[in-house]
Amino acid sequence: MTIILKNKETLVFDEFKFKCSIGKKGFTKNKKEGDKKTPIGKFTLGNLYYRSDRNNKPITSLKCIKIKREMGWCHDIKNKKYYNKLIKNKKIVKSESLHRRDHKYDFILPINYNTKNTKLGKGSAIFLHLSQNLKPTLGCIALKKKDFLILIRLIKKNTKIKIF
């Protein structure tokens, strides 16, 4: 089955419809780092990451990984080795910390955009993550926590997401 992003504010899976938000500047076929746009295409999903200090392990068939304080996602367009990959935060590599003060990354599900044959500057750290108020994102797709928890109960490791 496939998760379908119908429009800027509706994510559909099977018979379930969830309110969501996307990148501040809409969708794009030509994603660039920092453009605040959500990439168009059909993508697989990564493992589920969660903050075990704030939440119990969620009910899901997905592989769950606890977010540790030093975890980050590289968005350094000059770093061919680590770009758009999970890393241990380092001062020498620009990265997005997964261990945030706010609750956006209490649960994150990476969208496997630009992960195989990674191209520098074509966008990184595209996630399904949480939002309390569904404000536009920097390119990710955000859901309210209760909807995110329902969605991850329904999907399987081979579920894809279609963004158009």
Residue 95 has φ and ψ, to the nearest 5°, of: -150, 160
Please report, for the chain, the start and end positions of each structural domain, with discontinuous segments joined by +. 2-163
- Please say whether the beta carbons of 98 and 51 come within 8 A: no
**Whole-prediction pTM value?**
0.96
Reduced to 3 states, what is the DSSP secondary structure of residue 159? coil
Per-residue pLDDT 10s for the chain (164 aa) are 999 998 999 999 999 999 999 999 999 999 999 999 999 999 999 999 999 999 999 999 999 999 999 999 999 999 999 999 999 987 778 999 999 999 999 999 999 999 999 999 999 999 999 999 999 999 999 999 999 999 999 999 999 999 99
Instruction: Please list, in sequence order, all residues whose beta carbon lies within 8 angstroms of the beta carbon of residue 30, skipping any fewer than 6 positions away.
Output: none
Residue 111: name the closest of 54, 53, 163 by CA. 163
CATH superfamily name and code, 2-163: L,D-transpeptidase catalytic domain-like (2.40.440.10)
